[in-house]
Structure 1
Amino acid sequence: MRIIVTADLHYRPAKRDAYLAFAEWVRQRNPDCFIIAGDIGHPLRLFQRGLQLFRDLTCPRAVIAGNHDVYRSDYDSRTLWEAWLPRITRDEGFIWLEDDVLTLGNVGVCGTMAWYDYSSRAPHLTLGDHEYRVLKGSVNHDADYVDWPWSDRAMARYLAKGFAGRLGNLVNNPLVSRILVVTHVPIIEIAVPRYPESDFWSLMRAYMGNFTLGKLVLDQPKVSHIVSGHLHRAGRWTIAGRYGPVECHIVGSAPGEPTAVELTL
């Protein structure tokens, strides 16, 4: 079974030819499933056009949002998150993985945006949660453009609760023997680099991962693969889970240069 996962398309009409070429590459690979792990396009019309690039695929298609997808524009972040993003996703024939799981034979797919909860903070910094809330605007545009009413940690907990329930359903499904987890924000510590020499990137690290969720995932049976985006820096690792090795990937798309992880399960 061939599953293709991309992320961080950041669709822009000025580079449409590059996106069309990537979409054609995906089509020619003839995957059994295609997944976009967040940051499809902003504002909402570009989110929709990014999805429309892949309308010719005949396989199941699935989506999770990324942090840029909830940047306020014509709508506030809460309205985008709760209404427009899932509605457009489904209108374009994709599965909204924040609510639903996907089963493909004996493979289950479970996904979430996985908002950061500061668990990826740089170990050498002695800042508390309050400082990370206050300082975020100095390094991360999420502070400027995400205007929903929830704190980072509250959103991370909310998403993790829903994700854990969906993942548990797949674990308990006797027809599922292996599970692919897809997130936007990375959840595995080895995937998020440390920058002890840089004050900017050391602070930024707190908004780059959710290792709390990673610990939950690695403690579950049947999870064999994890794919995330967000970092624009490709990587692949095999790490130890409680029930065996887990293959982990970061999709390395750059602006106008989409790429993908291709899995054979």
Structure 2
Amino acid sequence: MSGNVPASTRTLRVLTFLATQPGPVPMERIASAVDLPRSSAYHLLKAMIAEGYVVHLPEDKRYGLGVAAFEIGSAYLRHDPLERLARPVLAQLVTDVGHTAHLGVLHGRELVYLLKEQPPRPVTLVTDVGVRLPATLTASGRALLAALPSAQVRALFPDTESFVRRTGKGPQTLTQLRRVLADERRQGFAEEDSQITDGVASVAAAVLDHAGHPVASIGVSFRSEAVPAGNRPALARRTAAAAETLSRRLRG
């Protein structure tokens, strides 16, 4: 990269490079990828950290996308194309399972609901369009977190102050969150019961883009007593199938 390339172009190239990586990377790789001297890369990364677009993981000596970058990505996903592709998938899911279904995306540490489809006699829920809830406590949020690299999860939740408590249930430390995410990753879906609202449970699965990155999640919410624990895996598998359908639609 020549010395007269605008700083804005260099910044965008750094963001583009980090977005294509499976997790945080050393500064040397970033400098090499965007053709910058080490000293210039350091100062550029320092400025991007200050604005929240890059996060530094000092223990690993690596850099990854920050919360501000996730917010921009989430804003893009909230535009019409994703919602248009998802709406018929959610409608069919509601017809199949008889419970409320919703589409959500990560917005920093929160899960934002973009779409909601309901059965004829819906249960009153807090998952209305536009509502933001702690990603660590929602099945929809954890389905997305489970599909992220572990270093990126740590960047989003670096300390106990990053965690929110609502009903006294759910992970409250990074160690607890990692354990939950590992279990949900193995079973292929996320599940929560009474972590957001007492007596209300949900299951969810991630929607992946062509590179295997999580871009959204599809979740189904219901009264805890309406679906016995033994029946929830089947409901979760149907939800995961809907998420895979939307993934294919996004990939064209």
- Say whether the fold is shared (TM-score over 0.5): no
Name the structure, 1 or 2, with higher relative contact order (CA <8 Å, separation 6+): 1
| TM-score of the superposed pair, with normalisation by structure 1 | 0.28
Larger Rg: 2
Q: Of Structure 1 and Structure 2, which has the larger fraction of its residues in helix? A: 2
| TM-score of the superposed pair, with normalisation by structure 2 | 0.29
